[in-house]
Amino acid sequence: MIKKRLRKPAQVLATASASGGEWIYSKTVKEHFFHPRNILLKEPKKGEFDAEGAVGNPACGDVMKMWIKVEPKTQRIKKLKWRSFGCATAIASTSMFSQMVTEYGGMTLEDALRLTPQDIMKRLGGLPPYKVHCSVLADQAFKSTIENYFQKFPEEAPAK
């Protein structure tokens, strides 16, 4: 079900994105890099988000931070904002991930946790092998955010 839902917008984006010479990354990466979605531009207000997480190290060239707001009843992700220091694919990966979990009324935490770096890459139209770690980082940043969320709301954590 999820997969079916995911495929369509990627194609739309690919055709909608501008062309012009051969770019080193896919058109979708380019589109998300130049027009990143869901960036947190201002400092978050108190209570605006339920949890936050971060991953990476400036020395390694990538740092990602994420903030989420979850609807308690349905456990759907209402809002996911991010900031990223990194290369084009790091920015595009986080942007794409933020779109994937918030489109169509938001994914449930359970579904979102099931997303893999491969899913992000697929939606981005692929990444070169030496950039795969960028999609892994986006996934890890989300996992760290969810960890923070479950720490704050232990009652919502899945039963072990």
Partner 1 sequence: MCKVKIQAGLASRLFIFKICRQKKNLVKFLLMNRIYLDHAATTYIDDAVKAAMEPYWQNKFGNASTIYKEGCDARSALNAARKNIASLIGANPDEIIFTNGGTESDNLAIFGIARQYKGGHIITSKIEHHAVLNSCKVLEKENFKVTYLDVDKNGIIDLKELKKSLCKDTILISIMYANNEIGAIQPIKEIAKVIRDYKIKNKNKKIYFHTDAIQAAGYLDLNVERLGVDLMSVNASKIYGPKGVGFLYARRGIKLLPIIYGGGQEKGIRPGTENIPSIVGLDKAFEIAQKMREKESKRVVSLRDYLIKNILKIIPDSSLNGNQALRLPNNVNVTIKNVEGESLILYLDARGIACSTGSACTSQDLEPSHVITALGKSREDAHCSIRFTLGRKTTKADMDYLLKVLPGIVKKLRNISAI
User: Are 77 and 101 a contacting pair, CB within 8 Å?
Assistant: yes
Which residue bears the tokens 């707001």? 69
Which of these is catalytic: 66, 134, 138, 146?
A: 134
Establish if 76 lies at the interface with partner 1 (CB under 8 A): no
Which residue in the set 8, 46, 58, 159 belongs to the binding site for partner 1 (CB under 8 A)? 58
* Closer Cβ to partner 1, 82 or 142, answer by number: 82
Residue 60 annotated as catalytic: yes
The one among 85, 105, 152, 157 contacting partner 1 by CB under 8 A: 85
Q: Does 142 interact with partner 1 (rule: CB under 8 A)? A: no
- Alpha-carbon distance of 151 to 145, in angstroms, equals 10
157 part of the interface to partner 1, by CB under 8 A: no
Which residue, 31 or 119, has its beta carbon nearer to partner 1?
A: 31
Per the DSSP assignment, residues forming a β-bridge with 54 are 65
In the complex, the smallest distance separating the C-beta of residue 5 from partner 1, rounded to whole angstroms, is 27
Contact criterion met (CB below 8 Å) for 134 and 86: yes
Please spell the DSSP secondary structure of 73-139, one letter per residue: TTTEEEEEEEEEES-HHHHHHHHHHHHHHHSTT--BHHHHHH--HHHHHHHTT---GGGHHHHHHHH
159 makes contact with partner 1 (CB under 8 A): no
Active site residue 134: yes
Cα distances (angstroms) measured from residue 131 to each of 10, 25, 59, 70, 116:
19, 10, 17, 30, 15
Q: Which x/- pattern over 88-127 shows residues binding partner 1 (rule: CB under 8 A)?
A: x-xx------------------------------------
Residue ranges that bind partner 1, judged by CB under 8 A: 18-21, 24, 33-34, 36, 39, 41, 54, 56, 58-61, 63-65, 82-88, 90-91, 130, 133
Residues annotated as catalytic (active site), given as ranges: 60, 134
